Amino acid sequence: MASTPASQPGAKTNRIGLTTIEYKGGRTTLCAGCGHNAISERIIDAMFEMGVKPERVAKLSGIGCSSKSPAYFMSRSHSFNAVHGRMPSIATGALLANHNLLAIGVSGDGDTASIGIGQFMHLMRRNLPMIYIIEDNGVYGLTKGQFSATADLGSKLKTGVINDLPPIDTCALAIQLGATLVGRSFSGDKKQLLSMLKAAIAHNGTVMLDVISPCVTFNDHEGSTKSYKFTKDHDEPLHDITFVPSFEEIDVEYQPGELIDVTMHDGSRLKLHKLEEDFDPTDKVRALTRLAEAHEKGEVLTGVFYINTKAPNFVELLNMPDEPLATLPESLTRPPKSALDECMEALR
Ligand X SMILES: Cc1ncc(C[n+]2csc(CCOP(=O)(O)OP(=O)(O)O)c2C)c(N)n1
Residues forming contacts to ligand X in the complex (CB under 6 A) are: 63-66, 84, 108-111, 115, 135, 137, 139-143, 148
Q: Which does 143 bind (CB under 5 to 8 A by kind): ligand SF4, Mg ion, ligand X, none?
A: ligand X
Q: Is 249 exposed, middle or buried (0-12, 13-18, 19+ CB in 10 A)?
A: exposed
What b/e string do you get for 284-308 counting C-beta neighbours within 10 Å, with b at 16 or more?
Answer: beebbebbeebeeeeebbbbbbbbb
Return the range that interacts with ligand SF4 (CB under 6 A); candidates 164-172, 195-203, 215-223, 261-269.
215-223
Q: Using CA atoms, how far apart are residues 240 and 271, in angstroms rounded to an integer?
A: 8
Phi, psi of 259 (to 5 degrees): -115, 135
Return the range that interacts with Mg ion (CB under 5 A); candidates 54-62, 106-114, 170-178, 331-339.
106-114
Q: Pick the binder of ligand SF4 from 218, 230, 279, 305 (CB under 6 A).
A: 218
Q: Which does 30 bind (CB under 5 to 8 A by kind): Mg ion, ligand SF4, ligand X, none?
A: ligand SF4
> Minimum CB separation from ligand X for residue 167, in Å?
13
Q: Pick the binder of ligand SF4 from 216, 259, 262, 320 (CB under 6 A).
A: 216
Looking at beta carbons only, is 19 or 81 nearer to ligand X?
Answer: 81
Looking at beta carbons only, is 143 or 333 nearer to ligand X?
Answer: 143
DSSP string across 223-234: T-TTSHHHHHHH
Q: Which does 31 bind (CB under 5 to 8 A by kind): Mg ion, ligand X, ligand SF4, none?
A: ligand SF4
> Minimum CB separation from ligand SF4 for residue 164, in Å?
23
Closest CA to 22 of 71, 102, 77, 68: 77
Closest CA to 235 of 271, 278, 192, 200: 192
- Does residue 38 contact residue 213 with C-beta atoms inside 8 Å? yes
Q: Using CA atoms, how far apart are residues 179 and 169, in angstroms rounded to an integer?
A: 14
Query: Is 44 one of the binding residues for ligand SF4 (CB under 6 A)?
Result: no
What b/e string do you get for 69-84 counting C-beta neighbours within 10 Å, with b at 16 or more?
Answer: bbbbbbbbbbbbbbeb
How many H-runs (helices) and E-runs (strands) does the chain carry?
12, 13
Phi, psi of 133 (to 5 degrees): -110, 130
Return the range that interacts with ligand SF4 (CB under 6 A); candidates 161-169, 213-221, 272-280, 328-336.
213-221
Looking at beta carbons only, is 180 or 225 nearer to ligand X?
Answer: 225
Q: Using CA atoms, how far apart are residues 134 and 39, in angstroms rounded to an integer?
A: 10
Q: Which does 217 bind (CB under 5 to 8 A by kind): Mg ion, ligand X, ligand SF4, none?
A: ligand SF4
Q: Closest-CB residue for ligand SF4?
A: 141
- Does residue 174 contact residue 117 with C-beta atoms inside 8 Å? no
Q: Which does 63 bind (CB under 5 to 8 A by kind): Mg ion, ligand SF4, ligand X, none?
A: ligand X
Looking at beta carbons only, is 30 or 177 nearer to ligand X?
Answer: 30
Query: Is 220 one of the binding residues for Mg ion (CB under 5 A)?
Result: no
Looking at beta carbons only, is 127 or 213 nearer to ligand X?
Answer: 213
> Minimum CB separation from ligand SF4 for residue 254, in Å?
38
Q: Using CA atoms, how far apart are residues 87 and 254, in angstroms rounded to an integer?
A: 41
Query: Is 109 one of the binding residues for Mg ion (CB under 5 A)?
Result: yes
Looking at beta carbons only, is 59 or 290 nearer to ligand X?
Answer: 59
- Sites for ligand SF4 among residues 161-180 (CB under 6 A): none
Q: Using CA atoms, how far apart are residues 128 and 87, in angstroms rounded to an integer?
A: 13
Looking at beta carbons only, is 220 or 240 nearer to ligand SF4?
Answer: 220
> 10 Å Cβ neighbour count for 156?
18
Element (H, E) at 43: helix 35-50
Which positions lie near ligand SF4, rule CB under 6 A?
Answer: 30-31, 34, 36, 65, 137, 141-142, 215-218
Which residues contribute to the site for Mg ion (CB under 5 A)? 108-110, 137, 141
